[in-house]
Amino acid sequence: MFLAEEQVRAVLRMEELIPAMAGTLRDLSAGKVQQPMRTVLPVAEHKGFFAVMPAYGGALGAKLVTFYPHNTEVHTHHAMILLFRPETGEPLVTMDGRLITEMRTAAVSAVATDALARADASVLAILGSGVQARSHLEAMRIVRKFREVRVWSPRNAHAFAKEFDVRAAASAEEAVRGADVIVVATAATTPVLMGEWLSPGAHINAVGATRPDWRELDDAILRRARIYVEAREAAMKESGDIIAAGNIFAEIGEVVAGTKSGRKSEEEITLFKSVGVAVEDIVAADLVWRRTRARQDNA
Q: Which residues contact 67 (CB under 8 A, 6 or more apart)?
A: 48, 49, 51, 76, 77
Same fold, 2-101+278-298 and 117-273: no
Domain boundaries, the chain: 2-101+278-298, 117-273
Q: Are 150 and 125 in contact (CB under 8 A)?
A: yes
At 69 the pLDDT is 87
Looking at CATH, the fold of the domain delimited by 117-273 is given as Rossmann fold (3.40.50)
At 23 the pLDDT is 98
What is the C-alpha R_g of the chain?
Answer: 18
In this prediction, the residues of the chain whose per-residue pLDDT falls under 50 are none
CATH H-level superfamily of 2-101+278-298: ornithine cyclodeaminase, domain 1 (3.30.1780.10)
Phi then psi for residue 210, to 5 deg, are -95, 40
Q: What is the 3-state secondary structure (H, E, C) of the chain?
A: CEECHHHHHHHCCHHHHHHHHHHHHHHHHCCCCECCCCEEEEEHHHCEEEEEEEEEECEEEEEEEEECCCCCCCCCEEEEEEEECCCCCCEEEEEECHHHHHHHHHHHHHHHHHHHCCCCCCEEEEECCCHHHHHHHHHHHHHCCCCEEEEECCCCHHHHHHHHCCEECCCHHHHHCCCCEEEECCCCCCCCECHHHCCCCCEEEECCCCCCCCCCECHHHHHHCEEEECCHHHHHHHCHHHHHHCCCCEEHHHHHHCCCCCCCCCCCCEEEECCCCHHHHHHHHHHHHHHHHHHHHHC
> What global pTM score does this model have?
0.95
Tens digit of each residue's pLDDT (9 = 90 or more) over 112-131: 999 999 999 999 999 999 99
